[in-house]
Amino acid sequence: MTDVGIDAIEIWTGKLRLDLPGTLAPAKGEDPEKYTKGLGLFASSLPDTYEDIVTMGANAAHRLMEREDVVPADIGRIDVATESAFDNSKPVSTYIAGCLEQIYDGDFRHANKGERKFACVSGTQAIDDAYNWIRAGRHRGRSALVIATDTALYERGDAGEATQGGGAIAMLIAENPKLMTLSQAQGFGSMDETDFLKPNQQFPSVDGKRSIQVYLARMREAIEDFEGQNGEMHPEDYAHIPFHTPFPGMVRKAAALGYRRLIRDTDVEEALANKIGPQPRPEAFADTEEYREALSEYTEALTSTDRYTTWYEEVIEPTLWISREVGNWYTGSVHVARASALLDGAANGRDLTDARFLVASYGSGAQAEIHEEAVQPGWKREIQKLPIEDHLERRSDIDFEEYELVHDAHNHDVDTGTDLRTFSVPEHEFVFDGWGPMNERQYRFVT
């Protein structure tokens, strides 16, 4: 069977940078260490007033197509994953295709376009759809363009304001990919939950603390489901585990849970037993509460062992460095985590060819999904084409008053007029260009 997976990746970060410990924390009267040490965040990327989910998605896709020498006729499918859509009927992929058609000779007339929704897990679902489409042999030799694009803004004053962000990631899904092949094995944990939702409203209703618990519960179920299908896993099976990263502190919790599951009944559990005892098993406890308490004590002891901290530094930490600088991008976050690990590997001369990643996605509402990917021989040359440092550095810093203006400009309920202040200069990119006669958003390419 032909391998199918991720052939190329491009990232477009919102062009503004809000310093979290230096600017947001003092303005909100908070300790900067809540951001740096607690949440693990240093900055949020935010879209300038001429940017939105379409411009960011189209700009990421354009750069990807240019770099990979791809033209519209090579693309048979465009799927956009987002939880920031502004149109309940016309999918964001049509807006993005329309942008790209302004500057390419050909068009996407014969490409299947759609939009995927399931909070932050929908980017992974869109990759799934593309994988299935290619595997089913319906692609006529063409590739799929999967774009995860979001403006992750919360109501001003909401606790979620600490974890905001905005950006897009475009991925080419193809046969014989240069970066990662996807395995068929998957695990799911999925339940009807109300931890985070947007019932026909722009900003989310979110129970932040509960969303953390739901993330962990669904992730545990996804791991159980995966192990049920594919047999027990071992922590040394995986070079990296990119998790959905709303903020790195969330991954600190998820990694502890994952590691505990991965070492159960292995030589690692046995080796650590001298120091911290064996893992508690439910059958040894009279009630669930007691079992949970013992489990959380064991997890705390586990995460302070050298074995765990070394594993965390090698396997998890490299997936987090972009997130620390950009915040939450919702649908794109887990894919940014994968890109972070690959970029870190290339920068540090690691030999990742044939290494396996366990990719752990999550979307509120709620669903976790895990699957394996294998790194391909051409990975290093390919990922080095993504100039992430340049993208991060070219952002313009904004102060708190400017942040308030930008937040208002993106707030659908605030009329900020048409003559909006901008904080950066658009160059060789798509920009928002006002509304058309049917209330459609319009775009133009700035040379």
Active site residue: 51, 83, 317, 429, which one?
A: 83
CB of 31 to ligand COA, least distance (A): 4
d(CA 339, CA 111): 26
208 binds ligand COA (CB under 6 A): yes
Q: Does 31 bind ligand COA (CB under 6 A)?
A: yes
Distance of CA 170 to the CA centre of its chain: 11
Shortest Cβ distance from residue 241 to ligand COA (Å)? 17
Taking the C-alpha atoms of residue 371 and residue 358, their distance in angstroms, rounded to an integer, is 6
Catalytic residue list contains 412: no
Distances from the Cα of 377 to the Cα of 7, 261, 352, 380, 444, angstroms: 12, 30, 8, 8, 38
Residue choice 47, 91, 160, 187 for contact with ligand COA (CB under 6 A): 160
244 assigned to active site: yes
Q: Does 211 bind ligand COA (CB under 6 A)?
A: yes
Contact window for ligand COA (CB under 6 A) among 77-85, 157-165, 278-286, 432-440? 157-165
Closest CB 400 distance from ligand COA, rounded Å: 17
Q: Is 155 annotated in the active site? A: no
Within 8 A by CB and 6+ apart from 398, the residues are: 16, 17, 18, 23, 46, 406, 423
Rounded Cα gap, residues 382 and 252, in angstroms: 29
Distance from C-alpha of 388 to C-alpha of 405, rounded to nearest angstrom: 27
Quick one: angle between helices 333-347 and 122-135, nearest 10? 80
Taking the least distance from each CB to ligand COA, the nearer of 72 and 258 is 258
Minimum separation from the CB atom of position 128 to ligand COA (A): 20
Q: Which region, judged by CB under 6 A, interacts with ligand COA, from 104-112, 243-251, 267-275, 297-305?
A: 243-251
- The active-site residue, picked from 62, 139, 240, 244, is 244
Give the shortest CB-337-to-ligand COA separation in angstroms.
13
Cα–Cα distance measured from residue 256 to residue 225, given in angstroms and rounded to the nearest whole number: 18
User: What is the Cα–Cα distance from 106 to 375, expressed in whole angstroms?
Assistant: 33
| Site residues (CB under 6 A) for ligand COA, limited to 66-125 | none
Name the segment binding ligand COA (CB under 6 A); options: 209-217, 344-352, 397-405, 411-419. Answer: 209-217
β-strands 143-152, 75-81: how paired? parallel
CA-to-CA dists, residue 403 to 48, 83, 376, angstroms? 10, 22, 41
Q: What sign results for the dihedral spanned by CA atoms 53, 56, 59, 64?
A: negative
Establish if 365 lies at the interface with ligand COA (CB under 6 A): no
One residue of 73, 103, 212, 217 binding ligand COA per CB under 6 A:
212
Q: Which of 120, 317, 391, 429 is catalytic?
A: 120
Query: Is the CB of residue 369 less than 8 Å from the CB of residue 351?
Result: no
Residue 34 vs 356, nearer CB to ligand COA: 34
Write phi, then psi, for 16 (nearest 5 degrees).
-110, 150
The correct pick among 364, 368, 383, 441 for binding ligand COA (CB under 6 A) is 364
Q: Which residues are catalytic?
A: 83, 120, 244
Footprint on this chain of ligand COA (rule: CB under 6 A): 31, 33-34, 37-39, 159-160, 162-163, 206, 208-209, 211-212, 215, 246, 249-250, 364
